[in-house]
Structure 1
Amino acid sequence: MPAHARALATCHIACWREAYRGLVPDHVLDAFDLDRRAAKWERIARDHRGRILVAESGAEIVGFTQYGPPRDEPAVAQRELSAMYVRAGCYGTGLAHALIRAVLEPDRSCSLWVFERNPRARAFYAKYGFVPDGASRAERFATATEIRMIRRQ
């Protein structure tokens, strides 16, 4: 994964800018630093107890998921989807479907946090059985509210 950290960081930053413009303040989106984000992905790859799946088109990463043990205390599901991003040019191609199907297992519950004011993402997750459980929090980085959604076994 460290060899792919820069490509993953490039995808991650682009996805945030494509999906969250108008939801997250512009100065936050514009301040992303590729080198710092790549270093963060290197640390995540070394320390993460779950899995990171990437989707490539040629040499470019165009989507990814990150999932693993739940981080919430107490845990509300057996697994947490902590990141799911697809480049805007891949919307509607089935790539997001393939990524989420690779994460979900029928016999394991899964939770995730999603921006409350992101109807596109919320509708996508609802198609796979995720429902809001009433929990919310301020997102640490973007100053927006997130809600937790859970998919039961």
Structure 2
Amino acid sequence: MIITAASPTDAKTLAELHRVCRQKAMPWLPELHSPEEDLRYFETRVLPVETVLIAWEGGHAAGFVSFHQGWLNHLYVAPDCWRLGFGTRLLEAVRSDLSYLQLWVFQKNARARHFYTTHGFCEREATDGRYNEERVPDLRMEWARHDRDH
């Protein structure tokens, strides 16, 4: 596995991986955007603003993570790469220089909640979903580096 910084030319790869992962991991989520809208989102809102890292395996994107100002905004791993350490490696790459990180996760996404809890995140706030685009209940989780983490 190789982890590289994403470039603007990776927008299509990110948009496609995002769509496939969401459909497989969270089939209960409403599909609100077209593939073209997903591409535009990554081109205009994610890549120009956030730090985005891509995990590559055998020349294919196996997963990606994006973060900005203490928020982990995306962490997706291709379904055929689940439980092979890609998510852990991407998360470690993000946390290596940070002391605090927070994120939103859907309450119903048990796999993601377990992953983040296993990696030291704590659930801090639950909502009914009225403020997210999908209108699905979510949770804010936090991680903070402690001296024992060094």
Is 1:35 the counterpart of 2:36 in the alignment? yes
Q: Which amino acid aligns with 1:35?
A: E
Aligned amino acid, residue 138 of structure 2:
E
Question: Of 83, 93, 106, which aligns to 1:115?
Answer: 106
Residue 60 of structure 1, CA deviation: 3.1
1:81 counterpart residue number: 72
CA contact (8 A) 1:18 1:87 kept: no
What is the distance in 2 between the residues matched to 1:2 and 1:90? 24
1:1-153 alignment, distance < 5 Å? 1-21=7-27, 23-25=28-30, 28=31, 32-43=33-44, 44-46=46-48, 48=49, 50-69=50-69, 79-105=70-96, 108-136=99-127, 138=129, 140-153=132-145
Q: Go from structure 1 to structure 2 and tell me whether the alpha carbon gap of 1:86 and 1:107 turns closer, same or farther (over 3 Å shift).
A: closer
Query: Against the structure 1 CA distance between its residues 83 and 137, is the aligned structure 2 distance closer, same or farther, given a 3 Å change threshold?
Result: farther
- Three-state SS of the structure 1 residue aligned to 2:47 is helix
TM-score (norm 2): 0.82
CA RMSD of aligned residues (A): 1.8
Distance 1:17 1:136 in 2: 22
2:41 aligns to what SS in structure 1? helix
1:12-64 deviations in Å (ceiling 9; x for gaps): 1001101101x314xx2xx6422221121111212x1x310011234432211
1:9–1:37: 8 Å Cα contact kept in structure 2? yes
Amino acid at match of 1:152: A
CA shift, 1:90, in A, is 0.4
Take 2:34 and 2:58, find their aligned partners in 1: how far apart are those partners? 24
Residues 106 and 137 of structure 2 are in contact (CA less than 8 Å); yes or no, is this contact kept in structure 1?
yes
Structure 2: stretches of 5+ with no match in the other structure:
1-6, 146-150
